[in-house]
Chain A
Amino acid sequence: MARVVVDVMLKPEILDPQGQAVQRALPRLGYQGISDVRQGKRFELEVEGPVDDAALTRIREMAETFLANTVIEDFAVKVES
């Protein structure tokens, strides 16, 4: 079984309140030098059968229509063995 990972992040220009809240908390906890934090989602898909072009195409379609809301989010698909 192969694992395909889909990372979903808010588009760079979209406000990320969660990331900002974390970023603002860091200096208070003594962690300096982090200029920005953005929070995203990671999906791990266990794929039955070979991860070929056809399978990846289907996964991209799934990510585009379902896992990500492309109005506000980008996604990236990568294969882990």
Chain B
Amino acid sequence: MTVRIGVVTFPGTLDDRDTQRAVRIAGAEPVPLWHRDKDLKQAEAIVLPGGFSYGDYLRAGAISRFSPVMEAVVAAARDGMPVLGICNGFQLLTETHLLPGAMLRNNHLHFVCRDQKLRVENAGTAWTADYTAGQEISIPLKNIDGRYVADERTLDELEAEGRVAFRYAGWNPNGSLRDIAGIANAAGNVVGLMPHPEHAVEPLIGTGGTDGLGFFTSILRKLVNV
């Protein structure tokens, strides 16, 4: 039986079709979810893809967090369902408080699109099991509101609990505190990051690397083994 992974589309979501493709390439079945959906259509994991939901007006993720589908996603995440937020999806996860902290405008104030090196800090989450801790991967980064901030106590807590999942390596592209590129919740089922693994799943396309595929194979392996 194939594993069903839900990919949510909000008005203004951009990377939903790319994420569906990545899910397919990894061997799972993508289930398109619309922001007005109230149930998750038997999806066993959820990806909140990148983009500019509601134009990122007010704040990134501030309007989409009130969508009907997010009620279901938040409830399921609290019950342990794996949820991955990429870029706008990460911003949304912080707005819903599934993950701590917030995202501000990049310190240089520009949109930045580049091939970014990351260090995998936690290979124990639902979405990172196919990597090894300390591994360096290279995947595209593209955002204008990508500067991760949280208060010192929260940052210390994240570090102490091993919940910093990814750190920028080589160069911090946006002024994120402690070079944080992605974090996990305490249970390890909810992960958010700014860079885009779904854009690094095929040789030749994008950066030409496939370092992002591990996110999708990790979750597939976990769900198949359940």
- Interface stretch of the complex, out of B54-62, B85-93, B199-207: B54-62
Interface flags for A39-55 (1: CB within 8 Å of B; 0: not) read 10000000000000000
Which residues of B have CB within 8 Å of A72?
none
- Give the size of the chain B interface in residues (CB under 8 angstroms): 6
Interface flags for A4-43 (1: CB within 8 Å of B; 0: not) read 0000000000000110011001001100000000010000
Interface residues of chain B, those whose CB is within 8 Å of chain A, are 54-55, 57-58, 63, 66
Contact A22 B58 (CB under 8 A): yes
Rounded to whole angstroms, the CA-CA distance of A77 and B58 in the bound complex is 24
Contact B66 A17 (CB under 8 A): no
Additional 10 contacts, C-beta under 8 A, given A22-B58, A25-B63: A17-B55, A18-B58, A21-B55, A21-B58, A21-B63, A22-B63, A25-B66, A29-B66, A39-B57, A39-B58
Interface residues of A in 44-73 (CB under 8 A from B): none
Rounded to whole angstroms, the CA-CA distance of A18 and B63 in the bound complex is 11
21 A-B residue pairs with CB within 8 Å: A17-B55, A17-B57, A18-B55, A18-B57, A18-B58, A21-B54, A21-B55, A21-B57, A21-B58, A21-B63, A22-B57, A22-B58, A22-B63, A25-B54, A25-B58, A25-B63, A25-B66, A28-B66, A29-B66, A39-B57, A39-B58
Which residues of A have CB within 8 Å of B54?
21, 25
Q: Chain A at the B interface: mostly helix, strand, loop or mixed?
A: helix
Interface residues of chain A, those whose CB is within 8 Å of chain B, are 17-18, 21-22, 25, 28-29, 39
Q: Which residue of chain B has the shortest Cβ distance to A30 in the bound complex?
A: B66
Which residues of A have CB within 8 Å of B66?
25, 28-29
Closest 6 CB pairs of A and B: A21-B57, A18-B57, A25-B63, A21-B54, A22-B58, A21-B55
Q: Which residue of chain B has the shortest Cβ distance to A37 in the bound complex?
A: B58
Task: Name the distance in Å between A51's Cβ and chain B's nearest Cβ.
Answer: 30
Which residues of B have CB within 8 Å of A29?
66
Rounded to whole angstroms, the CA-CA distance of A17 and B58 in the bound complex is 10
Rounded to whole angstroms, the CA-CA distance of A58 and B29 in the bound complex is 63
Rounded to whole angstroms, the CA-CA distance of A29 and B66 in the bound complex is 7
**Max count, chain B CB within 10 A of own CB: residue among A22, A29, A39:** A22
Task: Name the distance in Å between B97's Cβ and chain A's nearest Cβ.
Answer: 17
Task: Name the distance in Å between B2's Cβ and chain A's nearest Cβ.
Answer: 34
Q: Which residue of chain B has the shortest Cβ distance to A22 in the bound complex?
A: B58
Rounded to whole angstroms, the CA-CA distance of A9 and B202 in the bound complex is 46
Q: Which residue of chain A has the shortest Cβ distance to B54 in the bound complex?
A: A21
Rounded to whole angstroms, the CA-CA distance of A22 and B57 in the bound complex is 7
Task: Name the distance in Å between B127's Cβ and chain A's nearest Cβ.
Answer: 30
Task: Name the distance in Å between B165's Cβ and chain A's nearest Cβ.
Answer: 31
Rounded to whole angstroms, the CA-CA distance of A77 and B143 in the bound complex is 34
Rounded to whole angstroms, the CA-CA distance of A39 and B55 in the bound complex is 14
Task: Name the distance in Å between B96's Cβ and chain A's nearest Cβ.
Answer: 14
Task: Name the distance in Å between A11's Cβ and chain B's nearest Cβ.
Answer: 19
